[in-house]
Amino acid sequence: MPPPSVSGGGNYEIDYSLLGPDLATLSYYAEQLNDRSESIGIIDGDTTLKLDKPELLVEIDRDRAAALGVDTEDVATALRIMVGGDERVSRFRDETMGEEYDVQIRLADGSRNDSESISRLYVASSNGGMVRLDNLVRILPANSASRIDRLDRQRQISLRAGIAPGYALADRIKALDQMVYEMNMPPAYSTRVSGRAREYETTFKEFLWAFLLSLIFMYMILASQYESLVHPITILMSLPLTLPFALATLWLTGQTLNLYSALGLLVLFGVVKKNAILQIDHMNQLRAPDETGWMPYWKGIGIDCVPF
């Protein structure tokens, strides 16, 4: 396999992204896609979303909180201050040093990571008392993502993998598209190709435009040189004949149609066009009349031609 010609996008060959509003649903589809990817020639697959960060999930019993006169905002404020911390609740002045310091409040490390310690916190009630949190909430252990990627204001999970020997990048992307189609995701979810595959796709589109423009410019230059509209067409008609043989050579040697082989095709077109120009020029020299107005003998044939 040739070295990568496009920098950026990491050291992986496939960067296939799933976009949608719900993170759990995206994780389900991404893991399902990763588990089935080995069957279509994709190896060493991994997803960018890791639900491995432990957290404590607080579920508030709203009916019980309303009965005890506790607002849900007070519960959230108490948890924010005791667990997350408040950067400044007061100022302390050291008279000996003449300095002032911010006073911060937060539970100790062992307490703010313990659900039992958090449940013993008290929250003020509108009825004039204090209510313990374990009378209002349920604290459940859970796992969350350490990082959430977004693209175009949507949550994103990427499948990053390599390609097994004997497969090409373009057809593996098509295989992933077919697999996503079979998964029948909801309309709010979509896919996008990123990284090296997207760069190659963009490069090939630009290469096709460059090839088309090169044909137009070659025709214009040849038409001006030969002062004819027929000879350039004759020369350029030799170019399509090289495609079957070039593709057959790639197939016989076990190579794929990538950026390097496409550039090789462009060079091959230049060589074939040069040979066609030499043949047409030699043919014009053979057909040119001599000083008497007679065409010369065709070399190797020996047949007189009529004068112009």
DSSP annotation of 224 reads: H
- Angle between helix axes 195-226 and 169-183 (nearest 10 degrees) is 130
Mean of the per-residue pLDDT values of the chain: 79
pLDDT band at 305 (very low <50, low <70, confident <90, very high): very low
Pairing of strands 99-105, 42-47: unpaired
Task: Indicate whether 113 pLDDT > 80.
Answer: no
**Alpha-carbon distance 118 to 189, whole Å?**
38
Q: Give pLDDT, residue 3.
A: 42
**pLDDT of res. 5:** 42
Mean pLDDT score, 221-235: 84
Nearest to 156 by CA among 106, 131, 193: 193
Mean pLDDT of 107-116: 78
Q: Is 163 exposed, middle or buried (0-12, 13-18, 19+ CB in 10 A)?
A: buried
Q: Which pLDDT score, from 0 to 100, does residue 19 have?
A: 92
Which of the two residues, 189 and 204, has the higher pLDDT score? 189
The string of pLDDT tens digits covering residues 36-55 is 888 888 888 888 887 777 77
> What pLDDT, in 10s, does the model give residues 165-187?
877 777 888 888 888 888 888 88
Query: Which H or E run includes 101?
Result: strand 99-105
Please write the tens of the pLDDT for every residue from 51-94: 777 778 888 888 888 888 888 888 888 888 787 777 667 788 88
Residue 252 pLDDT = 86
What does the pLDDT read at residue 12? 74
Q: 279: Cβ–Cβ under 8 A, 6 or more apart, which residues?
A: none
Q: Is the whole-model pTM more than 0.95? A: no
pLDDT of residue 295: 53
**The two structure tokens encoding residue 24:** 């759990």
* Radius of gyration of the CA atoms of the chain, in A: 37
Spatial contact of 257 and 248, defined as CB atoms under 8 Å apart: no
Is the predicted pLDDT of residue 100 greater than 60, yes or no? yes
Model confidence pLDDT, tens digit, residues 259-277: 777 778 878 888 888 888 8
| Per-residue model confidence (pLDDT) at position 10 | 53
- Could you give phi then psi for residue 154, rounded to 5 degrees? -125, 150
Rounded CA-CA distance 245/253 in Å is 12
pLDDT at residue 200, rounded to an integer: 72
Q: What is residue 308's predicted lDDT score, i.e. its pLDDT?
A: 40
Q: Each residue of 116-163: pLDDT tens digit?
A: 888 888 888 888 888 888 888 888 887 777 778 888 888 888 888 888
Among candidates 200, 124, 148, which has minimal Cα distance to 24? 148
